[in-house]
Amino acid sequence: MAAQLPHAHLTHPITLPDGNPHPGTVYLKNVIDHPRMEIGEFTYASDFDPPQDWAARLAPYLFPFSQEKLSIGKYCQIAHGVRIIGSSANHDSQGISTFPFAVFDPDTMLGYQPDTRDTVIGHDVWLGYGALITPGASIGNGVIVGAGSVVRGRIPDYAVVAGNPAQVVRMRFSEAEIAQLNALAWWDWPPEKVARARPLLEAGDVAALVAFGA
């Protein structure tokens, strides 16, 4: 039987041994319709307490009227307890008080947003259990974020980060290999090609994957 991926249009892409879909795992693109969120195909999230509103669970401060965007690439893996705190959550810290007076005034509530930075998560990113992504974070392709980490700022492609604040523990590949992987952009291949490349994607031989994709 030819290798294949669960179809991108599915809500629940994992089928349990008894033949039933796993209710706590979803392809996010198929369960979120939010004007300020962009999510790539095959990106999934898992939760032991599956919510009715996955957007609100993952990004509770991102509102339809928010001025920032949340972008999540393809083939990302988001574990239970991950929260993405968007810029809408930030208070103005330039004055004497950080109290958001404007939010409590109907005349000034809409349009008031001291921080409008976008949050960007690349392709094939693994966000570990309970990770917290702070406003304006930019996470590169192939990054692994350790459980419970607090991520801020820019995280380079194919880094492994952990801690609070999250620090680079190691790089997964050499600079040359990272450049090759980004140029290859396997996440943009048709699903059939990705399925055929599965043994190479599960291995650590960048040169073999590059040769396959040539």
Predicted confidence (pLDDT) per residue in 149-199, tens digit:
999 999 999 999 999 999 999 999 999 999 999 999 999 999 999 999 999
Confidence of residue 3 (pLDDT cuts 50, 70, 90): low
Residue 104, pLDDT above cutoff 90: yes
Convert the pLDDT of each residue in 5-56 to its tens digit: 889 999 999 999 999 999 999 999 999 999 999 999 999 999 999 999 999 9
Residue 79, pLDDT above cutoff 50: yes
Report the distance separating Cα 54 and Cα 82, nearest Å: 11
165 cis-preceded (ω within 30 degrees of 0): yes
**Any domain includes 61:** yes
Of 7, 22, 91, 123, which is the active-site residue?
91
Total-model pTM: 0.94
**Any domain includes 102:** yes
- Whether residues 81 and 161 share a domain: the answer is yes
**Any domain includes 7:** no
CATH number at residue 94: 2.160.10.10
Reply yes or no on whether 91 is catalytic.
Answer: yes
- Domain range holding 181? 174-214
**Which among 124, 46, 49, 131 is positioned nearest to 80, based on CA atoms?**
46
- Whether residues 53 and 133 share a domain: the answer is yes
Taking residues 111-140, report their average pLDDT: 97
Q: Which residue in the block uniquely carries the two structure tokens 């699903």?
A: 191
Count of all residues that appear for the chain in the document: 214
**Any domain includes 6:** no
- Whether residues 146 and 187 share a domain: the answer is no
Number of domains in the chain: 2
